[in-house]
Structure 1
Amino acid sequence: MAKILTEREVSEIMSQLSVEQRKFILENSKQSKKAKWLEVLAIFKGIDIQNTMTLEEVESYIDDWVLVDILDSGYGNKNYQCECGNPLRYQYIVMNKKKQMTFGFGKTCLSNHTNLSTELVKDILNGFHKIDLERDEILLKVFKGELFNLKPYLNLENIPQVIIEQVNLGLPLLNKQIYQLEEMKQEYDKRKCHERILDGLKSEARLAFEGFPKPVQQEMLRKMVNNEYIRNVPTGFQDDEIEWLLSLGLPLLEKHQRKIFTYYQKQKLEKEMQQQLELEEYYAPYREKNITRINSGIATHISPISVIDYQTLKERHSTTLKAIHAHQDRLSTGNKKEWERIISMIRQLKEGGEFDYSSFKLNINMICFQLHIERDYYLY
């Protein structure tokens, strides 16, 4: 929050300034208040104000009261007088354009002796207060010795003249003026960066780029700045526009990337389906044999396929289990879970628990298939 200086503090700091510095601050404050007066009245009357309009142009649309001047007696003085007779430090000189008559009022009488509503005058005075806060910000920076170095920004185009004059007089800038310069510098740096990138393009690529609509140019520039290039496309993928852009060394747009991603997804799905078919074919004989054994076990109330002790399991499958353990970092997400389940099953068997031997062999076979590991005799 901006610090509000007392009238005495303002007077003391202002007294330390040069004549030119004081004149600049006072004149700039006065012009800002005139502009605020016109702005509030214009908004009230529904007048559309353009940024390029001068105070005189805006004033031409106002047909009643306009602010002509603000007179200041100085700290501790009340040398001016309101139309009502009260002594004033600040006198607001206003003119009724219809009557072509000029009056001097204090804050209170601005609404009492004009046809301006209380709310309208309140908005105007609130605007004046904010302008005074900006003056205080400059004075506080003067007191703290916070000057601004304009040299890094002198290459910018269209620096506001008021900023140049302010710095040349040895006065600090407002925070909002510094932010304005920073935004201008960022825009300048961005434009220069774009120019360097475009200058580095081949003539055919530059010609093609300049023929694109503005939104396409902006997207391409953003991708070139961030080095977001796709150099290659999947085998078998065909798209004339994408191939043309790649041949020119230009980045692909989001719509092109979506096409490539869709193709990748389609390829992945087809590959997974093919792998599933291969798995089905691979395990078909085993499943038939397993079903026969299970049926046989059911028929005799004995299930030898599921009856095995820990020592026998080690003798039969230790070689295969060690091979899987050595390559477990290559397991797919699904097979990692199956491998963890197998380890848990073996631990349960060792502790005398139940053991589903057929499920064990089925999962081991699937893992061996993924890792291309030679299976032991008992897994066939």
Structure 2
Amino acid sequence: MVMLSKEEVEAVMHTLTEEQIYFLKHQLIRKKKSRWLHTLANFKGMDLNDKMSMEEMEDKLEDWMLFDIKDGGYQKRPYKCDCGQSLRFQYIIHKKSEGAVRYLGENCFESYLSLPPSVIREIKKGMYSIDLERDEILVKHKKSLHYPLQEYLHLPLPKEITDQHEIGLPLTDNQIRQVERIHTHYEEEKKLSTLFQRLTIEQQQFISKLNQEDRRELLLLIEDGLAESFLQVDDYSDYDQTLQKQIQLNLPLLERQQQALEEWALTKKREKQFQALTPEQQTFVLSFSHEEQATLLDQIHKPLYYTYESIESLRVDDRIKKQVKLQLPLLKEQIYEIERAHNKQVARVMGTGSLAHFS
């Protein structure tokens, strides 16, 4: 959206009630103060708690704060900068720790603060975006584009939004998206509550101990009919007791639980496969990296690519020959090495045969 000209802003403002004008101006200043505080906090590397009041934020920052922005009206300059220049827009800043107040125009405002140009740009960018929100409201008001908020007043909406609706001002697109997000969350919570009520007392007690995100995922899995999705492990008796309880209650596993259980089951399978090896095979397998050991153990019961006799004459690493002799599977790179050695051997034989033919 393109910002309205000063004339256009004035023209629409004249169509508003005194209450609507007061609301818009009050919100404008409040939002600009908030943006100022957060921009300044970011510059200083400080975290502001959203639950803090503006006064608490100002005390923490101990710097020049935006107190008010006065607008004298279109083509009017009733205010004065401390430098003596007549102003339409007057920025009033104060420093509580010094009890100092300054009345500045835009130019003096920038130079007086002694902030880096990047921070000044960020402050002005924030002010501009807030002015755009005001203009969006004015344009929608002029075109009578009102969102049907009355259908959502049962939701826990921010007071700013309900107040804005009650005095007859349209909502911005961002506010509408916020309302719709709240509505989506509300409907989902209602659905989750219904699903929860369908569970047994014991299942409810178990789920109630989970954090909110895990509880939500688990209930949605139940809705999707995935309560049997965990039944993929034969024996989980020595696994995590909480998860065992979850399975016994016929509750589905969360995605991360499913992955963890599958990894655990695979580790147990590899341990079992390792124990089934001869002591010599075990010693040989342990000479590989942990990742290579896992790869070898996963292939223990698969058919072997080569017999010792088929590679005995090839020029390959003696370790590979011993591995094959021990009837252990091979890694991919070892198979490639055998194939290369075999191809070279064939080429040498063919080359010898050609020389014999010509002789």
TM (norm. structure 2) is: 0.64
Written as runs of structure 1 = structure 2, the 5 A alignment for 1:232-271 is 248-254=249-255
> Who is 1:186 aligned against?
184
> Who is 1:150 aligned against?
149
Residue 58 to residue 207, structure 1, CA distance change in 2 (3 Å) = closer
Q: CA deviation at 1:237?
A: 5.8
Say if 2:125 is the partner of 1:126. yes
> Who is 1:80 aligned against?
79
Task: For 1:19 and 1:131, locate their aligned partners in 2 and report how far apart those are by CA, in whole Å.
Answer: 21
1:83/1:105 contact within 8 Å kept:
yes
Task: For 1:214 and 1:163, locate their aligned partners in 2 and report how far apart those are by CA, in whole Å.
Answer: 27
RMSD over equivalenced CA pairs, Å: 3.1
2:12/2:138 contact within 8 Å kept:
yes
> Who is 1:195 aligned against?
193
Written as runs of structure 1 = structure 2, the 5 A alignment for 1:11-30 is 11-30=10-29
Q: CA deviation at 1:184?
A: 1.3
1:111/1:121 contact within 8 Å kept:
yes
Residue identity over aligned pairs, in percent, reads: 33
Task: For 2:201 and 2:117, locate their aligned partners in 1 and report how far apart those are by CA, in whole Å.
Answer: 65
1:3/1:137 contact within 8 Å kept:
no
Given residue 120 of structure 2, which amino acid in structure 1 is its aligned partner? V
Residue 109 to residue 191, structure 1, CA distance change in 2 (3 Å) = same
SS at match of 2:180: helix
Task: For 1:179 and 1:78, locate their aligned partners in 2 and report how far apart those are by CA, in whole Å.
Answer: 38
Residue 230 to residue 138, structure 1, CA distance change in 2 (3 Å) = same
90-99 vs 203-212, which moves further: 203-212
2:228/2:250 contact within 8 Å kept:
no
> Who is 1:331 aligned against?
none
> Who is 1:346 aligned against?
none
Number of matched pairs: 259
Given residue 204 of structure 1, which amino acid in structure 2 is its aligned partner? E
1:110/1:121 contact within 8 Å kept:
no
Task: For 2:101 and 2:245, locate their aligned partners in 1 and report how far apart those are by CA, in whole Å.
Answer: 73
Q: CA deviation at 1:70?
A: 1.1
1:110/1:116 contact within 8 Å kept:
no
SS at match of 2:106: coil
SS at match of 2:66: strand
Q: CA deviation at 1:227?
A: 2.7
Given residue 137 of structure 2, which amino acid in structure 1 is its aligned partner? I
Task: For 2:92 and 2:134, locate their aligned partners in 1 and report how far apart those are by CA, in whole Å.
Answer: 21
SS at match of 2:102: strand
1:14-38 Cα distance to aligned partner (Å, 9 max, x none): 1101110011001110111122222
Task: For 1:204 and 1:99, locate their aligned partners in 2 and report how far apart those are by CA, in whole Å.
Answer: 62
Task: For 2:39 and 2:229, locate their aligned partners in 1 and report how far apart those are by CA, in whole Å.
Answer: 57
Written as runs of structure 1 = structure 2, the 5 A alignment for 1:174-323 is 174-211=172-209, 217-230=215-228, 248-254=249-255
Residue 23 to residue 215, structure 1, CA distance change in 2 (3 Å) = closer
Residue 151 to residue 230, structure 1, CA distance change in 2 (3 Å) = same
2:36/2:66 contact within 8 Å kept:
yes
SS at match of 2:92: strand
Task: For 2:174 and 2:230, locate their aligned partners in 1 and report how far apart those are by CA, in whole Å.
Answer: 47
Equivalent in 157, 161, 164 of residue 162 of structure 2: 164
1:39-84 Cα distance to aligned partner (Å, 9 max, x none): 2222222221111111111111232322221111101111112222
Residue 226 to residue 111, structure 1, CA distance change in 2 (3 Å) = same
Residue 224 to residue 84, structure 1, CA distance change in 2 (3 Å) = same
The gaps in structure 1 that reach 5 residues or longer are: 267-380
Given residue 112 of structure 2, which amino acid in structure 1 is its aligned partner? H
1:33/1:131 contact within 8 Å kept:
yes
Task: For 2:8 and 2:20, locate their aligned partners in 1 and report how far apart those are by CA, in whole Å.
Answer: 17
Task: For 1:53 and 1:247, locate their aligned partners in 2 and report how far apart those are by CA, in whole Å.
Answer: 46
Task: For 1:95 and 1:215, locate their aligned partners in 2 and report how far apart those are by CA, in whole Å.
Answer: 44
Residue 209 to residue 140, structure 1, CA distance change in 2 (3 Å) = same
1:139-196 Cα distance to aligned partner (Å, 9 max, x none): 1111111112222222222x21111110000101111111111111111111111110
Task: For 2:78 and 2:215, locate their aligned partners in 1 and report how far apart those are by CA, in whole Å.
Answer: 63
Task: For 1:232 and 1:112, locate their aligned partners in 2 and report how far apart those are by CA, in whole Å.
Answer: 65
1:92/1:104 contact within 8 Å kept:
yes
> Who is 2:53 aligned against?
54
Residue 61 to residue 227, structure 1, CA distance change in 2 (3 Å) = same
Q: CA deviation at 1:197?
A: 0.5
1:166/1:172 contact within 8 Å kept:
yes
